[in-house]
Amino acid sequence: MSSNVQVSSNVRGPEVLSAALAAVLEAVGWDLTGKPPERPTWHARAACRGQGHKSFFPATDDRRPGSESAYSAALTFCKVCPVILECRRAGQHEAFGLWGGLSPAQRRRRRARAAN
Ligand code: SF4
């Protein structure tokens, strides 16, 4: 079987994805320049301190039912975190990731309830 797929030399997809990823990482506080990211003072007491970001920012479609299970590993930290309220407040308008034990979908529902 032969393939007729042609790849243009003017592919912009990777550039667009790279820019989008950089924007997301910047939004969540990752610094791509190599400088240590600035953290709020409460973060020094965070239960997730020193953990990787992967389980807090899983690759999942947060609009799909059941997507919240992707956060179950991260939630084990949030459940015992002494700064959960500070984290929840800081992340209440974030579009991605688990903040204060709340997924993006949970934060959207809270914002919608608060607006009514
Ligand atoms: S509430 Fe969860 S995400 Fe926020 S600092 Fe604590 S462990 Fe980390």
- Cα(101) to ligand 1 centroid in Å equals 7
Q: What would the pLDDT profile of 53-86 be if each residue is shown by its tens digit?
A: 899 999 888 888 888 889 999 999 999 999 999 9
Q: What is the pLDDT of residues 22-38, one digit of tens each?
A: 666 666 666 566 666 67
Burial, 98: exposed, middle or buried (Cβ in 10 Å; 0-12, 13-18, 19+)?
A: buried
User: Is the minimum distance from the CB of 78 to ligand 1 under 6 angstroms?
Assistant: yes
Range(s) of the domain holding residue 25? 10-39
Does residue 102's CB lie within 6 angstroms of at least one atom of ligand 1?
Answer: no
Query: Does 63 lie in the same domain as 32?
Result: no
Q: Are residues 23 and 80 in the same domain?
A: no
Confirm or reject: Cβ of 101 under 6 Å from ligand 1: yes
The answer to whether position 105 is within a domain reads yes
User: How many domains in the chain?
Assistant: 2
> 23 vs 19, 20, 31, 66, 96, CA distance in Å?
6, 5, 10, 26, 11
Mean pLDDT computed over every residue of the chain: 82
47, part of any domain: yes
Ligand 1 centroid–CA 81 distance in Å is: 6
pLDDT at 5 over 60: no
Query: Is residue 96, in this structure, part of any structural domain at all?
Result: yes
Taking 60 as the threshold, does the pLDDT of residue 8 lie above it?
A: no
Does any domain span residue 5? no
